[in-house]
Amino acid sequence: MIFGYARVSTQDQNLQLQVDQLEKYGCDEIYQEKITTRKKERPELERMLSKLRPGDQVVCYKLDRISRSTKHLIELSERFENEGVQFVSIQDNIDTTTPMGRFFFRVMASISELERDIVSERTRSGLESARKRGRNGGRPPVQNTKIEKALKLYNSKDYSIKEIVEMTGVSQATLYRRINQAKEKDTPNQ
């Protein structure tokens, strides 16, 4: 059986690209999660892992979608090997059915972690430098009046999201977040 695993880090992100690629690959079952890799508990990954049998295959879109770190990735690969399960990373062109695939898998995992660490270090350095100059970073908060105006325009159903963003200066992400919050308030608990 071919199991697919797709993950994004936040609720606002979309899994569809990964799911499309997993379906195209021919996955029989696809497990989807919206959770950060910083969290150790990932229920869908655990559910998938509990179903694995010798001869099965695990497919993910990219290495960083399935693992928290190089160590975790290597632990997963060892588990797959011990259980007779093959692993494929579509975007990274890794297929552990071959010796070169197994070697490349370990090298790519190390490079992927190094890249994340470098980006993280640069971000921390940049934020620290900005703080020393009196800047805290991030977008300035949007005035509530702008958000209220954007919501009124949205509720009028006369304007597209793009038009509302252009007229009010409220970002699309902020607008959608506030629309969803309003819907949640209007929906009674069941």
List the beta bridge partners of residue 34: 8
Among 57, 119, 55, 49, residue whose Cα is nearest residue 89: 57
List the beta bridge partners of residue 86: 57
Other Cβ atoms less than 10 A from the Cβ of 33: the count is: 20
Q: Decide: helix, strand or coil at residue 144.
A: helix
Any idea which residues carry the catalytic annotation?
9
Residue 164, Ramachandran bin (φ over 0: left; ψ between -120 and 50: alpha; else beta):
alpha
